[in-house]
């Protein structure tokens, strides 16, 4: 595989720095780092961004995530390894990543379950994590960034 161009984050550093600042701020909302890493990984899996899947799995490991849970995140509904709060975050991730799959966007039931486990500040952390991940997925998939060598 070969990338179509350099990673857009390298080409337009001014814009990307602002996005990275948003990502950094999202990590200050009181959500466990491992949960945010699972959110990133699941959105990246859905979007088929190999660059972010590989990098996300490595980042999650550094944050203390286990291989067992990383291997199971794609099938989190059937796997016994996740807490109810993590399941709510993963459901929100899937709904927000697949907005076009529902006429109501993120269904109230999905949002309400997430709000049952996370306060407003935490939801304000998870939501931009999903959004920024989707942005990176789209940039990387569009330009065919190659997973692995840069990680």
Averaged pLDDT score across all residues of the chain: 92
Q: With contact defined as beta carbons under 8 Å apart, do 43 and 97 qualify?
A: yes
Q: What is the pLDDT of residue 151?
A: 41
Angle between helices 108-117 and 120-142 (to 10 degrees): 120
Q: How far apart are CA 97 and CA 4, in angstroms?
A: 24
* Secondary structure element (H or E) that encloses residue 84, with its range: helix 84-97
CATH architecture of the domain 32-142 equals Up-down Bundle (1.20)
pLDDT tens figures, 89-116? 999 999 999 999 988 899 999 999 999 9
Pick from 80, 58, 59: which is nearest to 69 by CA? 80
Task: Give the Cα-Cα-Cα angle 44, 31, 151 (nearest 5 degrees).
Answer: 40
What percentage of the chain has pLDDT greater than the value 70?
Answer: 97
Instruction: Write down the pLDDT at residue 149.
Output: 58
Contact 82, 89 (CB under 8 A): no
Domain ranges of the chain: 32-142
Q: What is the pLDDT of residues 13-56, one digit of tens each?
A: 778 888 889 999 999 999 999 999 999 999 999 999 999 999 99
| CA–CA gap between residue 49 and residue 58 (Å, rounded) | 14
């Amino acid at each position: 595989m070969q990338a179509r161009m350099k990673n857009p984050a390298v080409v337009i550093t001014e814009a990307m720095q602002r996005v990275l600042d948003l990502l950094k701020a999202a990590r200050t909302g009181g959500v466990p780092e491992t949960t945010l890493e699972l959110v990133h990984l699941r959105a990246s899996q859905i979007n088929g961004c190999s660059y972010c899947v590989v990098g996300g799995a490595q980042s999650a490991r550094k944050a203390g995530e286990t291989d067992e849970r990383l291997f199971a995140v794609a099938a989190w509904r059937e796997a016994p390894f996740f807490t109810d709060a993590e399941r709510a975050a993963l459901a929100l991730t899937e709904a927000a990543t697949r907005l076009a799959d529902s006429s109501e966007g993120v269904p109230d039931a999905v949002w309400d379950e997430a709000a049952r486990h996370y306060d407003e500040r935490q939801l304000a952390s998870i939501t931009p994590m999903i959004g920024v991940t989707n942005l990176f997925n789209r940039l990387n998939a569009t330009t065919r960034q190659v997973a692995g060598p840069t990680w």
